[in-house]
Structure 1
Amino acid sequence: MASIDLPEPMEWSSVSRERWAERVAADLGVEDADAALARTASSGVRTRVLYTESEGGPALPENLRPRRGWKACETFDVSLERVSSVVREAVLEGLASVRLAGDVDALDPEEFTAVLSALGATKIDRPQIVLRPTGTPGRVLDVVDGVAVEFFGGFDPVRNVLADGRGRFDGAAVAQEELALLGHWKASGQTGRALEVDGSYLREAGANAVDELAFLLAAATERLRGAARAGIGARAWLRQTAVRVGVGRDLFDEIAKLRAIRLVFAKLCQSAADGDCGLVAPVVHAVGLVRELAPVDRASNALRTSSHAFAGAVGGAHTIELAPFERGSRIGERLARTTHSVLAHEAHLARVDDPAGGSWYVEALTDGIARAAWDRFRAIERAGGLASWIESGALASLLEERRSALAAAVNAGTHTIVGVTEYPPPPGTESEGTASRSTAASPRSSVGASGWPLVEGLCEADLLEPEPAARTAEARS
């Protein structure tokens, strides 16, 4: 066999950042290449188009880095008929974490045992149950084996007022309720976290990633004050609290936000406990935003939920919940569950710790979101804390501002919705849909007896449907 002469290896000369900037500026005909190509992320954080090692943000501390793997989660209403059968079917399709919403103590004991049995059939080590109770869960704690099943509480009194419209926010009463729950949790031998701080419903109502993180910090601080008055130490309270967040369409923004949660909650823990808390990463439950699922060209929503799952996995969420691409669709439910399995077992996203670590851009965006959220949180504190800030109307104004900006961007053509504003399906196709709404006005939150806005109406609203693509294009021209 004749020998083959291989070419000499190519040598690449290094290019300084200054030289790159000069060349790009000359090609674009601008003075400042960075300024011309900079982008403002959906969180409001300004980012460059190119980062060098010295310009990237600091890496996450080792004990705050996301660890490989996550658990597929889904929410089930406990009032659903034969809920255990539904759970069993979901488990067979890859589910490893169940979120039970409603009065779990009203659930029939046999039915609850059947739910536990269904979860026990999963191949995942220590499947999870996450509660979203209407009150403090009592009886159900006593029948759960904490070794076989990891049990999380979903108690969030702020969400009870803002999202569910149940009662008033009474800090003193809340503190006593949390004290009783923590005592029962300890007596039952549960190792999962009893409490939750939820910001996902605000994302559904229009808040961005920085808004959500600032709100989470302010809500945690408001409850920490009550906990201190009830005799619960900050360290104990924070170590018993999980975080629930929404995951949206901006892939890198959401990855960076999920990583930033670890930084800001570690900082809050250190501040509240006078440094005696340790850098412990919070348990994060991530849920894909329903409001981003367009009412037309519903098949495209499957790709959006895949993006939600990817961001949650790379960002380090412990559990990820996806919405079906179409409400009430059996195929949509199965696809939402099997998306996790494809990403974990075929794309191998569950095999790497902190996949985004080392990306100078993502590290910089993580740092930027964390700093912006902390600054906004401090502004809420200067306004008197979360309760005073909400009662002043600031939250309602913020949500209305965000939704109005979205409506304006959609109608101006700067916010693209594939299948709606761009690349719509052919008329008459099944995926075209029949929903019809206007962007002329966005729904407003009502005000409850507590003086706090009820954001439930905003959370339930779908993504605003803009004008059809043809008319939008004509308007821009």
Structure 2
Amino acid sequence: MAEAGADEARWRDAVAGVLKGASFEDRLTSLLPDGARLQPIYARKAGALPIPGRPPASPWTIIQRADHPDVAPANGQLLEDLEGGAGGVALVTTQSPFARGFGVAISTPGNLDGLLAGVLRNAIEIRLEAGPQTLEVARWLSEIDGGTLHYGYDPIGLLATTGNLPTGWPSTASVLANHRQGGTVLTADGRPLHEAGATPGLELAGMLSAALSYLRVLEATGLRLEEARHCVGFAIAADQDVFTTIAKLRALRLLWLEIEDACDLAASPIHIHAETAWRMLSRRDPATNMLRNGLAAAAAGLGGADSIAILPHTAANGLADAHARRVARNCQHVLISEANLHRIADPAAGSGGLEAMTDALREAGWAQFQAIERQGGIINVIQSGWLQEEIERLRQPVGTIIGANKYALAKEPAVSVLRPAPADTASPAALALSRRRDAVPFESAPESAPGGAA
């Protein structure tokens, strides 16, 4: 390895002797989903500096989802999560596109008060995932003093997940922006794209175009651009592909720096919330999801996420019980308190391979972003069907899923959940992205999983 760094040509000559005529590219390089080719070895990138993001040596915020349909049990979940060290909560209502058959039923201020009973609201971070009822719930939360509240309003995400763009959404965005409470107002969310199978570059492009759309709308409603940019945050899916996840978060920050520069804005770190990917979870042998979640959360932390939520390892099987939620919570505690992953600012800085992946994703994301903007922006490409077609054009084949399509259990043990998950059978509405977990085709029968039984 040292010889390779000093003299790549000599190293390649030595490798050619070992390959005995076989293709260097075929044997030793790999093609990334967006088309860039990853080399087997890289020298350290000279002069590389950390990408500004989460404050140095500061841990990310541990977020736990509240998604039990009944208010009293959901409140119990939140109190247990916060007593167990969570620094914030995501209030996922029944109308959230990420409720997945569950979500807290919040229809009155009394419901919300019951959900947050006993919670020190001004001491934690609260994220709303309320879909079309965001404004209504946000008004009920408006009495909170202190703390950080992210409204999570994402009308473009609602278009992507339901096929319907909320009417009057610019007005809703303006009202929320004028009542901002320390956090972000609008969220450019990459999760729908990731769940639909988009490549990392296309996922980044979609988030970038959505965020720019939100900036334009806020500016048009009278907000100064300097104020508007602090109203926009990002949510991103983190999966078990560690290096790609690290590079994706880093590329997002670099891409937004380009947007800020184009808008004549001084650089200011964006807020990125990461959630472990729904798409990577398997109903079969769900214990393997603990490992996937650990890898994904570690990658998100190393990539500079400001907050992270881990979906419990049994989430694909149903509504997670207290044990699964505790495992999800403590996974993050281990990464922060034992592994100390937060201590170094942007540890990937200067790493030849990770810098190359970051640059490749940044270039792919920018190219796709330009393609989207040439067609009038993210709303237009969803409504025209171009985005759906582009996802299919670039779709990668499903790889190995341990416990699902390789080394599957001969007999699946019973999985403890509070309520079983609804079947994955619903067809998406017209224009909506088709979102599905990768393991679904292998979950119908044990014999569908090749590679031997464990």
Q: TM-score, normalised by structure 2?
A: 0.83
**Range moving further from structure 2, 71-80 or 240-249:** 71-80
Aligned equivalents of 2:14 and 2:49: distance in 1? Answer: 33
Alignment CA distance shift 1:164-1:390 (3 Å): closer
Q: Which residue of 2 aligns with 1:310?
A: 298
Q: Which residue of 2 aligns with 1:152?
A: 150
Aligned equivalents of 1:81 and 1:104: distance in 2? Answer: 8
Alignment CA distance shift 1:42-1:320 (3 Å): farther
Aligned equivalents of 2:381 and 2:332: distance in 1? Answer: 38
SS in 2 for 1:459: coil
Q: Which residue of 2 aligns with 1:28?
A: 19
Which whole-Å deviations, capped at 9, do the CAs of 1:287-309 have from their partners, x for residues lacking one? 11122111211111111111111
Question: What is the deviation of 1:422?
Answer: 2.2
Contact 2:239/2:293, CA 8 A, preserved across alignment: no
Alignment CA distance shift 1:13-1:280 (3 Å): closer
Aligned equivalents of 2:28 and 2:345: distance in 1? Answer: 31
Question: What is the deviation of 1:353?
Answer: 1.6
Question: What is the deviation of 1:154?
Answer: 0.7
Which whole-Å deviations, capped at 9, do the CAs of 1:326-376 have from their partners, x for residues lacking one? 133422221111100111111121222212222111111111101110111
Structure 1 residue aligned with 2:197, among 206, 219, 224?
A: 206
Aligned equivalents of 2:223 and 2:107: distance in 1? Answer: 25
Aligned equivalents of 1:283 and 1:70: distance in 2? Answer: 11
Q: Which residue of 2 aligns with 1:130?
A: 127
Question: What is the deviation of 1:113?
Answer: 4.9
Structure 2 residue aligned with 1:379, among 365, 371, 384?
A: 371
SS in 1 for 2:179: helix
Structure 2 residue aligned with 1:348, among 332, 340, 355?
A: 340
Question: What is the deviation of 1:22?
Answer: 0.8
Q: Structure 1: which 5+ runs fail to align? A: 1-10, 121-125, 448-452
Alignment CA distance shift 1:372-1:99 (3 Å): same
Contact 1:42/1:250, CA 8 A, preserved across alignment: no
Q: Which residue of 2 aligns with 1:368?
A: 360
Which whole-Å deviations, capped at 9, do the CAs of 1:59-86 have from their partners, x for residues lacking one? 3555347744211112224853213222
One-letter code aligned to 2:48? A
SS in 1 for 2:209: helix
Contact 1:420/1:465, CA 8 A, preserved across alignment: no
Structure 2 residue aligned with 1:446, among 424, 429, 437?
A: 429
Contact 2:406/2:451, CA 8 A, preserved across alignment: no
Alignment CA distance shift 1:387-1:13 (3 Å): closer
Alignment CA distance shift 1:208-1:14 (3 Å): closer
Contact 1:70/1:320, CA 8 A, preserved across alignment: yes
One-letter code aligned to 1:212? E
Aligned equivalents of 2:449 and 2:70: distance in 1? Answer: 43
Alignment CA distance shift 1:91-1:13 (3 Å): closer
Match runs of 1:192-203 below 5 Å:
192-203=183-194
SS in 1 for 2:373: helix
Q: Which residue of 2 aligns with 1:464?
A: 440
Match runs of 1:49-448 below 5 Å:
49-53=40-44, 56=45, 59-60=48-49, 63-64=52-53, 67-68=56-57, 69-77=59-67, 80-82=70-72, 83-102=74-93, 106-108=108-110, 110-111=113-114, 113-114=116-117, 116-117=119-120, 126-133=123-130, 134-136=133-135, 137-146=137-146, 149-164=147-162, 167-170=164-167, 173-185=168-180, 190-271=181-262, 273=263, 275=264, 277-326=265-314, 327-330=318-321, 331-401=323-393, 405-406=396-397, 410=398, 415-427=399-411, 445-447=428-430
Alignment CA distance shift 1:90-1:308 (3 Å): same
Contact 1:105/1:138, CA 8 A, preserved across alignment: no
Contact 2:382/2:388, CA 8 A, preserved across alignment: yes
Question: What is the deviation of 1:321?
Answer: 0.9
Contact 1:64/1:279, CA 8 A, preserved across alignment: no
Residue-pair matches, total: 424
Question: What is the deviation of 1:115?
Answer: 5.3
Question: What is the deviation of 1:241?
Answer: 1.0
**Range moving further from structure 2, 108-117 or 23-32:** 108-117
Question: What is the deviation of 1:444?
Answer: 5.8
Alignment CA distance shift 1:12-1:220 (3 Å): closer
User: Which structure's CA Rg is the greater one?
Assistant: 1
One-letter code aligned to 1:111? G
Alignment CA distance shift 1:41-1:359 (3 Å): same
Aligned equivalents of 1:465 and 1:138: distance in 2? Answer: 39
Aligned equivalents of 2:196 and 2:75: distance in 1? Answer: 31
Alignment CA distance shift 1:310-1:111 (3 Å): same
One-letter code aligned to 1:356? A
Which whole-Å deviations, capped at 9, do the CAs of 1:412-463 have from their partners, x for residues lacking one? xxx21112222222446558xx99x99xxx986331xxxxx123xx335563
Alignment CA distance shift 1:296-1:195 (3 Å): same
Contact 1:264/1:374, CA 8 A, preserved across alignment: yes
One-letter code aligned to 2:341? L
Question: What is the deviation of 1:392?
Answer: 1.9
Contact 2:162/2:428, CA 8 A, preserved across alignment: no
Question: What is the deviation of 1:106?
Answer: 2.7
**Range moving further from structure 2, 36-45 or 289-298:** 36-45
Which whole-Å deviations, capped at 9, do the CAs of 1:100-149 have from their partners, x for residues lacking one? 133868342642552532x67xxxxx521111231325444432122xx2
Alignment CA distance shift 1:152-1:90 (3 Å): same
Question: What is the deviation of 1:317?
Answer: 0.6
Which whole-Å deviations, capped at 9, do the CAs of 1:371-417 have from their partners, x for residues lacking one? 110111001111222222222211222344455x43xxx4xxxx211
SS in 1 for 2:142: helix
Aligned equivalents of 1:159 and 1:85: distance in 2? Answer: 30
Contact 2:51/2:349, CA 8 A, preserved across alignment: no
Which whole-Å deviations, capped at 9, do the CAs of 1:43-64 have from their partners, x for residues lacking one? 54321110113xx497355534
Aligned equivalents of 2:202 and 2:46: distance in 1? Answer: 21
Q: Structure 2: which 5+ runs fail to align? A: 94-104
Question: What is the deviation of 1:20?
Answer: 0.8
Alignment CA distance shift 1:461-1:417 (3 Å): closer
SS in 2 for 1:176: helix
